[in-house]
C-alpha cells in the first residue's frame, strides 16, 4: 500500500516536555510538510522540506523543529518552547515543491492529535 | 498571511440539494485546489483548477475560477450524507489554506 502515515494517532504530553511526531511516506515524494490545525480553523504551515537534508520554516515555526535525514521521513518535534502545543498536527507530501509556480497535489496523513496536560 | 478564504463558514442543507461554497484569494495565482476534510481526519484532494481555466468538472463536483475577481466556487450537486465534511481551498503559494466551509447534509 502506498501512502503517508502518522503516528501516534493520539499523544499526551506533560507541560515542559519535548515530544516527536512521526511522519513516513512511501510515495517517493520529494516534498513534505507539517501543518497545525486548531479547532474550527484552517491549516497553518509549520515547516516544509523540498529535498533531503533541507527544510524551510513556515508561518508558525517557533517552538518546533524538524529533520529530513531520509526522503521517506519528516519527524516533527514539539519543544517546550511552544507555548500552546495542544492541536491537531497534519503531515503531507507532494511530488515536488510548491511555491514556484509548479503546484502539486498534497497527500495528507491521518493526523496526530496532541494534548498537553 | 492567509491566501484562501472560504465562504460561508458553515452550510447546512437537505440531502439531494446542491451545495455551493466560495473561496476568495488576494494575490495572483497559478492554480487553486479544493480539499475535503472529514472530522478528525487528514485532507483529501478533490480538484485542481489552473489559472487559465474557467470551469472544471469531476463527478458531482463543479469548480469555477474567476481570476478577475480572485474567487473560486465549488458546487456539489445532488448532495449525500457522506458529503458532510469541511471543505478548504488552497492556492499555490505554499498551499495556504483558509478556515474552510463546514458542510452538513441533513438526511
User: Could you report the per-residue pLDDT of B50-62, keeping only the tens digit for each?
Assistant: 999 999 999 999 9
Mean pLDDT of A58-83: 95
A104 close to A31: Cβ distance less than 8 angstroms: yes
Number of Cβ within a 10 Å radius of residue A74: 28
B22-46: average pLDDT: 91
Do B95 and A98 count as a contact with CB atoms less than 8 A apart? yes
A27 touches chain B (CB under 8 A): no
The torsion angle over the Cα atoms of residues A61, B96, A40 and B58, rounded to 10 degrees, is: -140
pLDDT at A101 over 50: no
Strand runs labelled E in chain B: 5-7, 10-14, 19-24, 31-37, 43-50, 55-58, 61-66, 71-76, 85-91, 96-97, 101-106
Report whether pLDDT(A2) > 80: no
A65 in reach of chain B (CB within 8 A): no
Instruction: Identify the band that residue A98 occupies on the pLDDT scale cut at 50, 70 and 90.
Output: low
Q: Above 50 in pLDDT, residue A74?
A: yes
Q: Do A110 and B48 touch (CB under 8 A)?
A: no
Q: Which residues pair with B73 in a beta bridge?
A: B22, B64
CA atoms within 13 A on the CB side of A50: 12
Tell me the pLDDT of chain A averaged across its residues.
90
A49 to chain B, any CB pair closer than 8 A? The answer is no
Give the closest residue to B73 by CA, choosing from B18, B40, B34, B35. Answer: B34
The residue that leads in pLDDT, A90 or A42, is A90
Amino acid at each position: 500500500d502506498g501512502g503517508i502515515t502518522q503516528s501516534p494517532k493520539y499523544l499526551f504530553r506533560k507541560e515542559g516536555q519535548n515530544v516527536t511526531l512521526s511522519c513516513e511516506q512511501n510515495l517517493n515524494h520529494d516534498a513534505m510538510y507539517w501543518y497545525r490545525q486548531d479547532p474550527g480553523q484552517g491549516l497553518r504551515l509549520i515547516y516544509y522540506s523540498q529535498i533531503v537534508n533541507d527544510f524551510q520554516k513556515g508561518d508558525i515555526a517557533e517552538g518546533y523543529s524538524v529533520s529530513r535525514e531520509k526522503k521517506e521521513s519528516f519527524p516533527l518535534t514539539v519543544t517546550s518552547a511552544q507555548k500552546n502545543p495542544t492541536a491537531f498536527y497534519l503531515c503531507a507530501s507532494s511530488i515536488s515543491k510548491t511555491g514556484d509556480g509548479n503546484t502539486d497535489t498534497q497527500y495528507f496523513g491521518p493526523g496526530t492529535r496532541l494534548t498537553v496536560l | 498571511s492567509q491566501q484562501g478564504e472560504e465562504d460561508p463558514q458553515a452550510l447546512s442543507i437537505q440531502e439531494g440539494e446542491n451545495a455551493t461554497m466560495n473561496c476568495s484569494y488576494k494575490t495572483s495565482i497559478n492554480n487553486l485546489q479544493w480539499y475535503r476534510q472529514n472530522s478528525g481526519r487528514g485532507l483529501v484532494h478533490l480538484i485542481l483548477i489552473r489559472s487559465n481555466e474557467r470551469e472544471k468538472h469531476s463527478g458531482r463536483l463543479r469548480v469555477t475560477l474567476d481570476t478577475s475577481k480572485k474567487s473560486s466556487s465549488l458546487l456539489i450537486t445532488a448532495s449525500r450524507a457522506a458529503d458532510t465534511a469541511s471543505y478548504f481551498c488552497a492556492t499555490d503559494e505554499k498551499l495556504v489554506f483558509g478556515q474552510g466551509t463546514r458542510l452538513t447534509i441533513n438526511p
